[in-house]
């Protein structure tokens, strides 16, 4: 259990083994094996002692939190030990499928909801319909949208662990100094812009519009949904972010710069550091900010819902999901133990201490969770959080098209409409290509 010295080396070894598969492409035929994988019934494990390999990207403050949950699990289930291996998420998603196809994958892992479709299409993870049936889980136990985000082509591939929506962090000291009431942060477009105007008169650029995915891209997606737009059309074959709502959303972000509420050409993470340094007042950031700001000594902040800039309430959200990787030689004992582990982890309210909002309603309504002030503020967004649609490869397409359009419009001298149209045009080709590739 725990993260020993070996874990990094093991991950590297898995990566090296995977390189062979990467190059030779001989990973067997995933689809046949998937249909073969069946979970044994029941909700408990009393087979021989074993150690589960558990992979995820919890390299920050969330890692130790997960380890305490694993400790608690092992206390309750002494015959199941869990060995956790972490890698940065960026590396994780390239190594994970490679390790699985070379037969060196883990027994259970965590993946973001927007990465489920591509991993399902690649045959890297197995459907969990049996598993949730055995555990008696259903949509009513979860926030509806996060439950839906785990489904790809009518099959379930992930059990949601948490949600990490975008919220609005407030530098309360800056607000106080500017004569604004930090207890009553702006909730709509008019009050948000009024507050920014007032901050500007005190020499503070209150709301930085970052050209990077973190956090400008997430802000754009939230605004897109707020203005009634969507990233792609219903079947995921065409980009729709260049329609009217997208143009309004990005134009509003641009107006932050044009009105002097944000500097131009912001570096990656500079918006976050400036926020902590009191150079800005509002920060649209994910739930992971709770850990970051909480650890910053002497920093006075609060967390609230995103203001409603568009015509409806909406907030981007990601979600960590427990997944079961494909195994060429499925082992009923290990699968059963993984099922019990997944059930335990998703029920644990203590995961929220890492800054997350639990996906399971029972955990979210627990007393332990309600004591967490910042997380509970984010949980108020649950009725209207939005997840990217389950289109395989959409995250990659978005990154090479939309994310760049945002940067071009915010500082590259390209008009909002032109940047969005151009990126959508390229995205349509890539989406069509992916559609054909993964439909096969």
Strand order in the sheet with 301-304: 282-285, 167-171, 301-304
Cα radius of gyration rounded to whole Å, the chain: 22
* Alpha helices, H only, 325-415: 332-347, 361-364, 367-370, 373-379, 394-400, 402-411
Strand order in the sheet with 108-112: 80-86, 50-56, 108-112, 320-323, 159-160
Q: Which of 279, 220, 169 is nearest to 398 (CA)?
A: 220
Q: Annotate each residue in 367-406 with x if it binds another protein (CB under 8 A) or - if it does not, as one string.
A: --------------------------x--xx-xx---xx-
Q: How far apart are CA 311 and CA 15, in angstroms?
A: 47
- CB-based contacts of 56: which residues, under 8 Å, 6+ apart? 66, 84, 85, 86, 92, 109, 110, 320
- Cβ atoms of 218 and 318 closer than 8 Å: no
Tell whether residue 124 is a contact of another protein (CB under 8 A): yes
Piece of the chain touching another protein by CB under 8 A; list 17-25, 184-192, 295-303, 348-356? 17-25
Q: Which of 44, 59, 79, 94 binds another protein (CB under 8 A)?
A: 94
Minimum distance, C-beta of residue 315 to another protein, in the bound complex (Å): 25
Q: Which of 11, 324, 408, 420 binds another protein (CB under 8 A)?
A: 408
Q: How far apart are CA 17 and CA 104, in angstroms?
A: 8
Q: Which of 11, 14, 21, 110 binds another protein (CB under 8 A)?
A: 21
- Cβ atoms of 7 and 85 closer than 8 Å: yes
The DSSP bridge pattern shows strands 315-318 and 155-156 to be unpaired
Q: Which of 10, 17, 22, 333 binds another protein (CB under 8 A)?
A: 22
Tell whether residue 153 is a contact of another protein (CB under 8 A): no
Minimum distance, C-beta of residue 416 to another protein, in the bound complex (Å): 14
Q: How far apart are CA 279 and CA 286, in angstroms?
A: 19
Piece of the chain touching another protein by CB under 8 A; list 16-24, 37-45, 137-145, 173-181? 16-24
Q: Annotate each residue in 265-284 with x if it binds another protein (CB under 8 A) or - if it does not, as one string.
A: xxxx-x--xx--x-x-----
Tell whether residue 261 is a contact of another protein (CB under 8 A): no
Piece of the chain touching another protein by CB under 8 A; list 116-124, 177-185, 309-317, 339-347? 116-124
Minimum distance, C-beta of residue 37 to another protein, in the bound complex (Å): 17
Q: Which of 407, 416, 420, 424 binds another protein (CB under 8 A)?
A: 407
Tell whether residue 101 is a contact of another protein (CB under 8 A): yes
Q: What is the DSSP letter of 360?
A: B
Q: How far is CA 359 from CA 35, 104, 321, 410, in A?
A: 28, 29, 9, 34
Tell whether residue 246 is a contact of another protein (CB under 8 A): no
Angle made by CA atoms 47, 53, 54, in degrees to the nearest 5 = 115
> What is the total count of residues that contact another protein (CB under 8 A)?
50
Minimum distance, C-beta of residue 355 to another protein, in the bound complex (Å): 23
Nearer to another protein among residue 60 and residue 263 (C-beta): 263
Minimum distance, C-beta of residue 340 to another protein, in the bound complex (Å): 29
Torsion of CA 392, 397, 399, 403, to 10 degrees: -130
Residues forming contacts to another protein in the complex (CB under 8 A) are: 21-23, 25, 27-31, 93-94, 97-98, 101, 118, 121-124, 211-212, 263-268, 270, 273-274, 277, 279, 393, 396-397, 399-400, 404-405, 407-408, 411-412, 426-427, 429-430, 433, 437, 440
């Amino acid at each position: 259990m725990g993260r020993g010295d070996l874990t990094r080396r093991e991950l590297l070894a898995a990566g090296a083994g995977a390189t062979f598969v990467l190059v030779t492409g001989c990973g067997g035929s995933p689809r046949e094996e998937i249909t073969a994988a069946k979970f044994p019934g029941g909700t408990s494990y009393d087979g021989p002692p074993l150690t589960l390999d558990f992979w995820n990207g919890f390299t920050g403050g969330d890692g130790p939190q997960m380890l305490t949950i694993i400790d608690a699990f092992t206390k309750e289930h002494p015959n199941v030990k869990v060995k956790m291996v972490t890698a940065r998420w960026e590396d994780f998603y390239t190594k994970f499928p490679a390790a699985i196809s070379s037969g060196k994958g883990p027994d259970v892992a965590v993946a973001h909801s927007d990465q489920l479709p591509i991993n399902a299409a690649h045959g890297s993870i197995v459907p969990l319909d049996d598993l949730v049936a055995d555990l008696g889980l259903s949509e009513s136990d979860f926030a509806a949208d996060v439950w839906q985000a785990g489904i790809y082509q009518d099959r379930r591939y992930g059990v949601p662990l948490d949600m990490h929506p975008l919220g609005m962090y407030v530098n309360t000291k800056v607000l106080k100094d500017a004569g604004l009431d930090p207890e009553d942060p702006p909730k709509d477009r008019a009050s948000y812009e009024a507050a920014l105007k007032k901050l500007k008169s005190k020499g503070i650029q209150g709301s930085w519009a970052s050209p990077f995915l973190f956090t400008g891209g997430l802000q754009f997606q939230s605004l897109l949904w707020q203005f009634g737009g969507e990233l792609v059309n219903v079947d995921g074959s065409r980009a729709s972010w260049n329609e009217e709502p997208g143009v309004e959303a990005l134009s509003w972000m641009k107006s932050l710069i044009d009105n002097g509420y944000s500097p131009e050409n912001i570096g990656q993470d500079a918006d976050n550091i400036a926020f902590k340094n009191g150079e800005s007042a509002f920060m649209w950031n994910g739930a992971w900010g709770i850990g970051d700001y909480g650890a910053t000594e002497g920093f006075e902040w609060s967390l609230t819902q995103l203001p409603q800039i568009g015509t409806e309430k909406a907030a981007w959200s990601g979600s960590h999901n427990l997944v079961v990787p494909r195994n060429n030689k499925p082992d009923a004992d290990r699968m059963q133990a993984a099922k019990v582990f997944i059930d335990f982890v998703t029920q644990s309210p203590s995961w929220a201490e890492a800054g997350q909002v639990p996906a399971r309603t029972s955990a979210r309504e627990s007393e332990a969770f309600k004591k967490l002030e910042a997380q509970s503020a984010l949980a108020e967004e649950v009725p209207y959080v939005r997840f990217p649609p389950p289109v395989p490869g959409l995250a990659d397409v978005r990154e090479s098209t939309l994310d760049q359009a945002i940067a071009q419009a915010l500082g590259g001298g390209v008009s909002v409409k032109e940047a969005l149209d151009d990126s959508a045009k390229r995205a349509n080709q890539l989406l069509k290509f992916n559609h054909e590739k993964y439909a096969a």
